[in-house]
Amino acid sequence: LAADAPANALALATIGVEHTLESRFGLYQAQGMVSIQLGVPLTEAMARLRAHTYAHDRTLGAEARDIVTRTLSLQADNR
Amino acid sequence: MSTLAAERVAEMFVEFADTLVVEFDLVEFLQMVTTRASELVGSAAAGLLLADPQGQLQFMAASDERTELLELFQVQSHEGPCQDCFRRAAPVVNADLRDAADRWPQFAPRAVAAGFRSVHAFPMRLRQDVIGALNLFGTDVGRMETGDVRTVQALADVATIGLLQERTVRKGEVLTEQLQGALNSRIIVEQAKGAIAQMRSCNVDEAFTLLRGYCRDHNLRLSDVARAVVTDPRPIPGLTAA
């Protein structure tokens, strides 16, 4: 199984990441990342993540996923 | 799967008892239970889900924490063997995933795509309540024997005892508070994974490996270190700083 890990991950990705997989964990991981990106406490990091999501008319799950996969960083917004 | 070696089972329960008498880390303890459960029946992966105060199942610990496996556990807050096991307060054993697309349209195809063929779920029982489920995945359709079913159920019960033990030590919390507290300690670990990934420029799975390695090397509890990572801005040499 371990040797197949990257292929498995890809297979899961192609099945589609729908609402059910808008995992709470992705959100918490993104919160931790944003906290470091902006140098702010966790509560503020979540507020900033929500604000960015709202401002760009997205869902929190999609936003969190982009943060965790490094497609998106809130660091630039801070400058 | 063969009937379990009695000696190995005895060793395992001694190990659990040893852990439960000293101050222990709940997330690590539950990871140990899932790892032993997985080894015992030769399954590829095992995980544990707990009911939150709203009665929704949430992922708590696993023998293997790769992101795609976490998703396979998390999807069961909606449907899947753990959900069925939790609702019926009874084990779900020997489910063949290739025949389960009707039963679990979201869960089964994902589990098959992840390389699994069979799945089992055992209730975490507390008196009249079910508070969560222990989930096992196999890569073949080998059937679990009756004796093995009983032993794995005992492991699920040990996980329940560990959970209550750790939380009772903290104060006379009611059950829902205990469960929420357990889930919160898991959330802090996820936040710390994100923070470490950002600081060390790695992915969250690698961040978790770093976190666990650091705890082992320094003989520290996972929850304590995770909490320090997300609340204390001072760098931790060897973990958040190179």
Q: What is the pLDDT of residues B132-169, one digit of tens each?
A: 999 999 998 878 888 889 999 999 999 998 888 776 65
What is the predicted pLDDT for the residue at B15?
Answer: 87
Flag if B59 and A4 touch (Cβ within 8 Å): no
pLDDT (tens digit per residue) in B24-76: 888 889 999 999 999 888 888 999 999 988 888 999 999 988 877 888 888 89
Beta-carbon count within 10 A of B72 CB: 27
Q: For residue A74, give the DSSP letter.
A: S
Between CA A50 and CA B19 the distance in angstroms is: 40
Instruction: Please give the average per-residue pLDDT across B174-198, as a whole number.
Output: 89
Q: Which phi and psi angles does B105 have, rounded to 5°?
A: -60, -30
Of B71, B192, B197, which has the smallest distance from its Cβ to A23's Cβ? B71
Choose from B70, B189, B204 for mutation: most chain A CBs within 10 A.
B204
Instruction: Collect all residues of chain A within an 8 Å Cβ-Cβ radius of residue B229.
Output: 32
- B-chain CB neighbours of A49 within 8 Å are none
The percentage of chain B sitting over the pLDDT mark of 90, rounded to a whole number, equals 54
Residues B36, B136 contacting (CB under 8 angstroms):
no
* Partner B contacted by A16 (CB < 8 A): no
ipTM greater than cut 0.95: no
Residues 6+ apart with CB under 8 A from B242: B200
Provide the number of CB pairs (under 8 Å) joining chain A to chain B. 88
Q: Which residues pair with B50 in a beta bridge?
A: B58, B132
Asked if residue A66 has pLDDT above 50, the reply is: yes
Asked if B211 has any chain A CB less than 8 Å from its own CB, the reply is no
Of A21, A32, A37, the CB nearest to B191: A32
Closest CA to B141 of B107, B104, B110, B99: B99
In the structure encoding, which two tokens stand for residue B146, read together? 């009756």
Give the confidence band of B225 by pLDDT, cuts at 50, 70, 90.
very high
Q: How far is A65 from chain B (nearest CA, A)?
A: 12
Which of B44, B74, B191 lies closest to A23 in CB terms?
B74
